[in-house]
C-alpha cells in the first residue's frame, strides 16, 4: 500500500512553484482541493475502510488526477469524474454497487 498524494505532488502536476495556494483556509486552496479529491475517490470506491486508510497506487493516482482536473476545470466537477483516465484508475476498486 501507498499513501494518498500530498500537496507537493499536486503542485508538481500543476506546475505551481509558489506557496500562494498552500494551506486550507478556503476552498480555493490546493490543500482543501486535494482533501476534497481524496474524499471523492473514497466516495466513488464506496464503503471505504477508515481504520486502514491506505490506498494502492491506482487510487493514489486517481486522487491526484481528480485534484488536477478540479484545479483546472472546477466548473466541470461532474464531467471530471467521468474522465477516462480517472475511471481507469478506479476500475476494479468499487466496493458498492447500485441495485436496479
Per-residue pLDDT for 46 more than 80?
yes
pLDDT tens per residue across span 51-98: 888 899 999 999 999 999 998 888 888 888 899 999 999 998 877 655
pTM for the predicted model, two decimal places: 0.83
What pLDDT score does 12 carry?
92
Residue length of the chain:
100
Quick check: is 42 in a domain? yes
The one-character DSSP state at 27 is T
Quick check: is 79 in a domain? yes
Quick check: is 45 in a domain? yes
* Residue 56: alpha-carbon gap to chain centroid: 13
How many angstroms separate the CA atoms of 90 and 88, rounded? Answer: 6
How many angstroms separate the CA atoms of 70 and 79, rounded? Answer: 10
What pLDDT score does 24 carry?
58
Of 39 and 25, the structure prediction assigns the larger pLDDT to 39
Contact 10, 68 (CB under 8 A): yes
Contact 41, 64 (CB under 8 A): no
% of the chain residues with pLDDT over 90: 43
Q: How many domains does the chain have?
A: 1
Give the range of the structural domain holding residue 48, as residue numbers without chain letter.
7-90
Per-residue pLDDT for 100 more than 60?
no
Amino acid at each position: 500500500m501507498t499513501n494518498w498524494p500530498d500537496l507537493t505532488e499536486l503542485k508538481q502536476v500543476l506546475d505551481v512553484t509558489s506557496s500562494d495556494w498552500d494551506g486550507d483556509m478556503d476552498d480555493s486552496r490546493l490543500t482543501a482541493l486535494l482533501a476534497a479529491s481524496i474524499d471523492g475517490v473514497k466516495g466513488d470506491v464506496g464503503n471505504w475502510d477508515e481504520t486502514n486508510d491506505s490506498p494502492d497506487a491506482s487510487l493514489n493516482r486517481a486522487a491526484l488526477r481528480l485534484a488536477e482536473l478540479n484545479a483546472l476545470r472546477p466548473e466541470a466537477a461532474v464531467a471530471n469524474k467521468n474522465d477516462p483516465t480517472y475511471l481507469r484508475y478506479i476500475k476494479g476498486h468499487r466496493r458498492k454497487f447500485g441495485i436496479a
